[in-house]
Amino acid sequence: MPDVSVGKASDFADPGRKVVDISGTEIGVFRLGDDFFAYHNICPHLDGPACQGKILPCATEDVQPDGTSMGRVFSKTQMNIICPWHGYEFDIRTGKHPTDGRARLRPVNVSVRDGEVYVNVPAR
């Protein structure tokens, strides 16, 4: 299948995303800084539209060296895409669920050439 343009890199917010349906194949393309990532818009849980959900930093537990917890804080480095059907979260850089990496989004090849973002649409 050909590479398909999904728009200019500069049109993506940071962090940001665009989800496209290309002849029936749904793909979510994400931008984090200068990096782009793309996944099928199908959640490994129950096939929900995972890429169309909220983007939020990963929640972490702020555990001190003495074992006490200061509660939950957002990660400064990890952004997640969250499936709107039931809330499964996936690290945008790896596509993996933070608790069980066996649950992961299926990656799609993405590239940026001359300021344009392309995804390689897999054969269905």
Residues interacting with ligand FES, by CB under 6 A?
43, 45-46, 48, 50, 83, 85-88
Q: Of 14-22, 32-40, 91-99, which part binds other proteins (CB under 8 A)?
A: 14-22
Nearest one of 112, 94, 110 to 28, comparing CA atoms: 110
Answer for which of 3, 60, 98, 106 binds other proteins (CB under 8 A) is 3
Task: Indicate whether 120 belongs to the interface with other proteins (CB under 8 A).
Answer: yes
Residue 77 touches other proteins, criterion: CB under 8 A: no
What are the DSSP calls for 74-112, one per residue?
Answer: EEEEEEEEE-TTT--EEETTT-B-SS-TTSBPPB--EEE
C-alpha closest to that of 109 among 40, 48, 51: 40
Q: Please name which of 75, 81, 92 lies closest in space to residue 36, comparing C-alpha atoms.
A: 92
Residue 66: CB minimum distance to other proteins, A? 19
Among residues 38, 42, 110, 117, which is the contact residue for other proteins, using CB under 8 A? 42
